[in-house]
C-alpha cells in the first residue's frame, strides 16, 4: 500500500497539543515523524494516567512516532538536531516565543542548512506586536478571540470542553504543510510557515465577528440553543432530553403537523417566520415542551425522523464509545501503548479508497534515540 506521505521525514520539536496534533496527522498519512523530547519528556505525557497508565492527551496525538531524547543545552544535542534537520523535509516546533532562536535554530539558519526544508512554527499570538511573548494556554486564547463571549449561558460564559485553540492551530499547521509540500514539488524550494493559536481560532470566530461587526450587536450566549435560530437545541421529554433544529419554513410546517400534531400552530402569527420564533423563543419552547413532555425520548425522536427534522441523542462518552454508526462503519482500531497494553482509537475521518491511515504505536520516551542517531550518523 502506497501512502500519500511515504518518504517524507518530519522532525518535530513539540510539546502539549498543537504541534503534536499536526505531526500525528502527517504520520497518519505515512510520514516518518521523529519526535524530539527533553529528558523529562513532553509534559503532556504526565497530564493524566487514565489510559492504562498513559495520558489520554498523549495517546491521542502521538501514535506512529519515534521518540528521540536530546539535550538541547549541550553542543552534542544541538549538533544532532541540526543533522536531523539537514536531512528532513519538514521541521515543526512550538517552543516558547524566542526559544528556538536562542538555540541558534531559527528559520533563517535552518533553511540555510536545508533549502528544501519546510519550517513550521506554532505560537500563541505570532511574531510582532505586544502579545508576542505572552503565554498562551487554550482557555486564554478562547478568551482573547471572544469565544467565551458567545459560549455559555446568558448569565455565565463557558469554555469549550476540548482544547479547541490548540486543535485549530494544529489543523492549520497540518494543512499548511501539505500545501507547502505541493508547492515544493513545483519550485524545489522549502518554505517558512507561521501559525498562531489566536489567528487559527480567530478564523473559526468569523461568523460571530461578522454578526457583531455589521449587525451592531453582540451575538448573545444561548447555552445549548442556537443564538439566531429557533427552535434549535435541547427539549425535555417524559424520560430525558432530545436535541433538534429547524432550518426553514418547510421544516417548521412539517414539525407542527407531525411532531406537535397541530397544523394551526404553523401559521400562528407569533411563530410563522424564523425571526419571530427567535423573538418569542420562551413562548415557543413552552408550547413545544408541553407536547414533548407527554412523550418518551424514543417517541419524540420517532416523530422527528418521520417529519424529516434533524435530531440527535445527547450522549456521554460511554454512549459515544458505543455509537452504532461508528461500529457499523468499523471506525475503531487498537493502538499499542509502551507498556504493551492497547488503546481503542478512532481512525482519521478521511476515508480513501487507495489507502488506510497508519495506526502505529505510542513511543516510549527515548525509545528510538540510539537507532535514529546511528542511522543519521549522529552518534
Taking the C-alpha atoms of residue 213 and residue 201, their distance in angstroms, rounded to an integer, is 17
DSSP H or E segment with residue 8: none
Mean pLDDT of the chain: 94
* pLDDT of 212 above 90: yes
Which residues are CB-contacts of 196 (< 8 A; sequence separation ≥ 6)?
122, 123, 124, 125, 126, 169
What share of the chain has pLDDT > 90, as a percent? 89
Q: What are 131-162's pLDDT values in tens digits? A: 999 999 999 999 999 999 999 988 899 999 99
Please report which confidence band the pLDDT of residue 331 belongs to, taking 50, 70 and 90 as the band edges.
Answer: very high
pLDDT digits (tens, 9 = 90+) for 4-50: 999 999 999 999 999 999 999 999 999 999 999 999 999 999 999 99
Domains (range + CATH), the chain: 9-205+327-375 (3.40.50.10540), 232-315 (3.30.1540.10)
- CA 349, chain centre distance (Å): 12
- The whole-number average pLDDT for the span 57-82 is 96
CB 132 within 8 A of CB 125: yes
CA distance 167 to 176: 14
CA distances from 362 to 3, 166, 358 (A): 20, 20, 12
User: For residue 339, how many other CB atoms are within 10 A of its CB?
Assistant: 11
Amino acid at each position: 500500500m502506497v501512502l500519500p506521505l511515504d518518504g517524507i521525514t518530519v522532525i518535530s520539536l513539540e510539546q502539549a497539543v498543537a504541534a503534536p496534533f499536526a505531526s500525528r496527522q502527517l504520520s497518519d498519512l505515512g510520514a516518518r515523524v521523529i519526535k524530539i523530547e527533553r529528558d523529562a519528556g513532553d509534559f503532556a505525557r504526565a497530564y493524566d494516567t487514565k489510559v492504562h497508565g498513559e495520558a489520554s492527551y498523549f495517546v491521542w496525538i502521538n501514535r506512529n512516532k519515534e521518540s528521540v531524547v536530546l539535550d538541547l543545552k549541550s553542543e552534542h544535542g544541538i549538533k544532532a538536531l541540526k543533522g536531523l534537520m539537514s536531512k528532513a523535509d519538514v521541521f515543526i516546533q512550538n517552543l516558547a516565543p524566542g526559544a528556538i532562536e536562542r538555540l541558534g535554530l531559527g528559520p533563517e539558519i535552518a533553511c540555510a542548512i536545508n533549502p528544501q526544508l519546510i519550517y513550521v512554527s506554532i505560537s500563541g499570538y505570532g511574531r510582532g506586536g505586544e502579545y508576542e511573548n505572552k503565554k498562551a494556554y487554550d482557555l486564554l486564547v478562547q478568551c482573547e478571540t471572544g469565544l467565551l463571549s458567545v459560549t455559555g449561558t446568558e448569565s455565565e460564559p463557558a469554555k469549550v470542553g476540548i482544547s479547541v485553540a490548540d486543535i485549530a492551530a494544529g489543523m492549520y499547521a497540518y494543512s499548511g504543510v501539505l500545501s507547502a509540500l505541493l508547492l515544493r514539488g513545483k519550485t524545489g524550494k522549502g518554505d517558512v510557515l507561521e501559525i498562531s493559536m489566536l489567528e487559527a481560532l480567530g478564523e473559526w470566530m468569523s461568523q460571530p465577528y461578522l454578526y457583531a461587526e455589521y449587525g451592531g450587536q453582540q451575538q448573545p450566549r444561548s447555552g445549548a440553543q442556537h443564538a439566531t435560530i429557533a427552535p434549535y437545541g435541547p427539549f425535555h421529554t417524559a424520560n430525558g432530553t432530545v436535541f433538534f433544529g429547524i432550518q426553514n419554513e418547510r421544516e417548521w410546517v412539517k414539525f407542527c403537523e407531525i411532531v406537535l400534531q397541530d397544523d394551526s400552530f404553523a401559521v400562528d402569527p407569533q411563530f410563522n417566520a424564523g425571526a419571530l420564533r427567535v423573538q418569542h423563543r420562551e413562548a415557543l419552547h413552552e408550547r413545544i415542551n408541553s407536547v414533548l413532555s407527554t412523550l418518551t425520548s424514543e417517541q419524540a425522536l420517532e416523530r422527528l425522523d418521520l417529519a424529516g427534522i434533524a435530531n440527535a441523542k445527547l450522549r456521554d462518552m460511554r454512549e459515544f464509545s458505543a455509537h452504532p454508526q461508528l461500529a457499523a462503519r468499523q471506525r475503531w482500531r487498537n493502538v499499542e501503548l509502551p507498556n504493551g497494553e492497547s488503546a481503542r482509537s478512532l481512525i482519521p475521518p478521511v476515508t480513501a479508497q487507495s489507502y488506510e491511515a497508519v495506526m502505529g504505536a505510542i513511543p516510549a520516551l527515548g525509545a528510538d534515540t540510539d537507532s535514529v542517531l546511528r542511522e543519521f550518523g549522529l552518534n
